[in-house]
Every structure is written in structure tokens, then in C-alpha cells.
Amino acid sequence: MKNLILAIESSCDDSSIAIINKDNLECVFYKKISQELEHSVYGGVVPELAARLHSAALPNILAQCKDYFSKLCAIAVTNEPGLSVSLLGGITMAKTLAVGLKLPLIAINHLKGHIYSLFLEEEVNLDIGILLVSGGHTMALYIDDKREIQILVSTNDDSFGESFDKVAKMMGLGYPGGVIIENLAKKAKDKNIKFSIPLKHSKELAYSFSGLKNAVRLEILKYENLDENIKAEIAYGFEEAACEHILDKLEKIFKQYSFKQFGIVGGASANLTLRSRLQNLCEKYHTKLKLAPLKYCSDNALMIARAAVDAYKRSEFVNIDEEILSPKNKNFLRI
Ligand code: KG4
Ligand code: ZN
């Protein structure tokens, strides 16, 4: 029986392929090759390098799942948003497979994929609030039971995850900065370096991380010798302010919407300080908290495969000769 869907994710710096059984949502194959080490020396993702690494990693992973080809019923791929040179690697491979194996092609929006990381092994349960925090996006959403997405708040400038990356870069700590800063913050002892919470006294319902990043930059400049202790104190002060900012605006939203359930997704949703504060907020407002498994918070093809199962059931296929590459977040209206 042909009931497997193969999905490819290559929107940024992770090359990943997953194969899912559309009938019981079982993941039969999953692999991800991350490029973090290669980009680490540059303190961020270098697009040309990312493209080159995808073109080596994707065929390598694909070679490992050839045995499943005869049971495939569709090919899915992330087509937006992301780095165009990275997206293109996945799209080219997906189209080649779809033509070669005579299978329908499904295009999946990366942010929808992240939302599906909450429902990897279960049916989608909507009427849900969501916080999406990644390297490229920071937004709170409401998705009604008709699958329509409403963006409740988004960022005016940088994203939550990217600000961790930049703070790590400023202190010469490597990339990606999220885990590095989170681990370093745990080593802070005095906890007396404090940064202002962005937009704390503003009624504006928006996120902003550029001012906080600049405040960290100015703090770093104060020290002639930035030793490990000071780095830990700065990391702690920064993480506190960044998480507090997220929670401050979220609480305003919780007061307006009485969410039955609220989920947190995206690479930066792995941050345990953020998770535990959100847990407290949900308890205060009697809202059920939904978390994605830590392994599937960051970019991965399984979330794309899971989203593709629902797209397959709705026959949402794209033409093979259609230009589906879209670096911008164009089709983020329904999940
Ligand atoms: O979703 P993702 O894997 O890629 C994008 O779609 O952007 O998210 C990656 C981002 C990076 O900026 C990374 O530093 C951040 O998520 N991140 C974290 C943590 N783990 C990953 N940020 C804060 N705390 C973490 N523990
Ligand atoms: Zn992502």
C-alpha cells in the first residue's frame, strides 16, 4: 500500500528528511544534518555556505531512505519563508522526486510546519493560541476552528531567537546563540546586571528586540576584560529581559482572549526559562499549555511531513512547473 509521505526541510541551516505514514502518523524515517558548526565561525548563517552544505547533505540523507520509495504517495517540501538559496535545494530535490516517481507535490509553509510540531502524533485540535519564537519570527497567533490564522502580535524589528544569536556573537560565543546563552545564564551568581524590558511602559502591542540588543552592546563596552563571570551575568540579565518582554505582552493578550489552550513552537521554544514562565501564565489563566517535543522545536522535516498529511487529505497539491519558491511569508493565512 502506498501511504507514506516524504518531506524535505531546508529553509535555513538544517537539512532534514522525514517519512510519515499518513494513515497512523507514524514516523518511519527521520534524519537531520545541522550546519551549526560550519556557520559557528561566522557567528551566523552564511547563505552561500548553507546552499553548498544542503546540496551535499540532502542527497546523502535521501540515499538512506530509498527502500521506502515504492510505498510513497506524495512528496512534500518547505517552500516559504526562508533563505531562497537554501529553500531552492529542497524544492529542486522535491520536484525531481515528484517527477521521477510520478507523485503529487505538496508545498508547506515553514511556520505552519512549526505549528504542526504540536500535533505530530495526534489530530490537530484547533481554537488555540500560539507563541511562535524562532530565528526569523516572533509572533503570537490565534487559530480558530476554521483553521484561520490571526496574528495578534509580531515583532517590529528583530526576533527573539535572533537576539540570542546576536548577544552570543557580541560576546564571541559562537552560533546558534540560544542554547549557549541559556546555559551561560545558569552560571550567573550575582544577577545584578539588569536591562530594561522593551516597550514596558508602552501600550503598543508589539515586540521589539533591537533596543535590548543595543543595551547589551553598551553594557559589554563597559568592560575592558569580559571574563566568564561577567559574560554569565550579562547572559542572565539579557535572557530575563527578553523572556519578561515576551510574557509582558502575552499577558495583555491573555486578558483579552480566554484561550482554552495555548502552544509554544519554533526553535527558541526550547528555552526552559520561557517555557516555565509560560507555564505559570497558563496556570494563572486556566489555560492548557501545549508543548512540542524538545527534539522537534528547531527546524526539522517531521513537522513538515505532519503538515503535509493534512494537506494531502485536502488534496492541496501544486503543479510541478509552478514557481513555488517564496522567501517571504506569503501563505500564512490558514493552517
Ligand atoms: O525554528 P528555528 O530552528 O529556525 C528558524 O526557523 O529560525 O529557530 C532557531 C532559533 C535560533 O535563533 C536559535 O538561537 C534559537 O532558535 N534558539 C533558542 C534556544 N534554542 C534555539 N533561543 C533561546 N533559547 C534557546 N534554548
Ligand atoms: Zn524554524
State whether CATH 3.30.420.40 applies to domain 4-119+296-313: yes
Q: Which segments within 177-279 are labelled E, that is strand?
A: 261-265
Instruction: Dump pLDDT digits (tens) for 62-119.
Output: 999 999 999 999 999 999 999 999 999 999 999 999 999 999 999 999 999 999 999 9
Q: Whose CA is nearest to atom 11 of ligand 1?
A: 135
- pLDDT higher than 90, residue 323: yes
Closest CA to 11 of 335, 324, 333: 324
- Is 177 annotated in a binding site? The answer is no
Asked if 131 and 282 count as a contact pair (C-beta separation under 8 A), the reply is no
201 is in an annotated binding site: no
Judge residue 215's burial from the number of C-beta atoms within 10 Å of its C-beta, 0-12 exposed, 13-18 middle, 19 or more buried. Answer: middle
CATH fold for domain 128-291:
Nucleotidyltransferase; domain 5 (3.30.420)
For ligand 1, atom 2, the nearest C-alpha belongs to: 267
When computed from its CA atoms, the radius of gyration of the chain, rounded to whole angstroms, is: 20
Residue extents of the structural domains in the chain? 4-119+296-313, 128-291
Band of residue 331 on the pLDDT scale cut at 50, 70, 90: confident
72-80 vs 4-9, strand pairing mode: parallel
**CA-based nearest residue to 16, from 31, 27, 3:** 31
Give tens-digit pLDDT for 133-181.
999 999 999 999 999 999 999 999 999 999 999 999 999 999 999 999 9
Q: What is the dihedral of CA 89, 90, 96, 101, to 10 degrees?
A: 160
Write the single-letter amino acid at 309.
V
Could you say which DSSP state residue 13 is in? Answer: S
Compute the distance from residue 295 Cα to the ligand 1 centre, in Å: 12
Does 327 score more than 90 pLDDT? no
**Per-residue model confidence as pLDDT tens digits over 198-241:** 999 999 999 999 999 999 999 999 999 999 999 999 999 999 99
